Structure 1
Amino acid sequence: MFEFEAPPPDNRDDALHFVFQEGQLVSELRGGGNPAWSLRQLELNGWAVRREQFIGRWQGRPCFAVELETAQLDPMQHHCGSLYQLLGRVDEPLFALAGRAAQLLAWERDHRFCGRCGAPMVLDARERAMRCDGCARSVYPRISPCVIVLVTRGDYLLLARNARTRRPFYSTLAGFVEAGESLEHCVAREVREEVAVEVETPRYFSSQPWPFPDQLMVGFHARYASGAICCQPEEIAHADWFHYRDLPPIPPAGSIAGQLIQSYLDEIA
């Protein structure tokens, strides 16, 4: 269980550390890709720390996000890569915690200077905020809400391959919520824009924090209403209706897209 608002510990002997370098997650090769490091491991590696943040407690243990100074890591001992490497390999709470660490480090890095007056900003000791001593402006971590929707028509699922990724699987449709827009309106608009299909009765499924870089994915099921598939080429490389017994490669079960698909397969089974 997460305790985001817990106070920092008096000592870090049993603390977990999520280590990043240039936005990439550093994991131990011999530990099966475990993303969490002990204080002893950090000390043995002798890494120089650029910035760090206490991010809360998990299962009673204090957790820290750590960003290293740029240095050559030992390729025989360490792996440096995207958070995607954790999907399906660690429990979802651990993935979410690593994502929180990545988001908070990126937020601090992106707000080193005030956007209003240009003065340097510092971490506020009283709350999770970057504070400008020049004009007293405070900036808090921001989340970008997105909808992700599985459109279905009886035994068939509408799945698409994104034009901007090399990952060889088909997934559900998704998009960012616009200012002044409801989640349900966004579901209908995104499906219409990406594949020219109209949907009805969007039904909330669940949500998932998605640290690429700072999204909150809000999942929906929706039924096909009308229209023929016509892909928006800048967004969708290919889309089609797939029978539930003959699906293409789909996202891992740890992602909300995979969970949307599996929940529908369970429902019609």
Structure 2
Amino acid sequence: MPSLQEEVHATLRDVEKQTIDLFTAISASSSFTQTAPTSQVKPVRAQVRQLQDTHRQLSRLVDRAAEHQVNQARLIPLLAQIKERDTKQRDAILRISTLRTELKEMVEAGNKLWTQTTKAEKDPLSATMVLEYAQRLARYTSAPPGYHLAELQAGATHNAQSAQQADYNPEATRAAAYYDPAIPSMPQEMPFPSDRLMRQGILYADAASGGSMPADAAPGAAADGPAQDENNMAQEPVASLTALDSFAMDDDDAFDLDLNP
């Protein structure tokens, strides 16, 4: 089915052709010299009626075109509203999807928390488990906030027994030669390794395994050789001792643990 635009253009071409034919017939009938047979030329009256019919058809098409333009003008804001509502609908769907995901995560977290709570109620945590975990954790944590080390004794020297008392781990005795001998005196046994031990790391302790001996070892060969050199080397003062052992701590946070990498 042809569109309205095609129908209007076709009707205009018909009007143009019929108008030319009409004027040709009028010119031929009024001419004194007849150039074409009379039977081939339509009567002028018939051509006028045909042109009138075509003109009425063109008028109807023009009215339809005007109505079409009015409807098109009404459709433009409607299409804009449809696009706007479609955008709002998409945003609402996206928002609902996001809320659904968040709600699902909240439900999963609630179920997990409920499972953990139920498990904790059925299998309560004992003091032994807490102490075992604290002992394992003490190997890799610094002093809790609120614990203040004793003041440093400037120029004081300490033997391997003082270094062993400063370090909680039994394995720390093999690295005593690498520690600063000016370790502050401890009012009590610390339930954690010293900051120096943690900062030096296990590699320094392994490197010193052949050069340090326990305090109760038999005298003799342990008192001479490389061990004496390393112990003498360990007697050198460390300028950054205060920076290693003193930290700003709050008395209110006595049971917090500062995990160091």
Higher helix share: 2
Which of the five TM-score ranges fits, normalised by the shorter chain?
A: under 0.3
TM-score, structure 2 as length reference: 0.19
Higher strand share: 1
TM-score, structure 1 as length reference: 0.19
Greater length-normalized contact order (CA 8 Å, ≥ 6 residues apart): 2
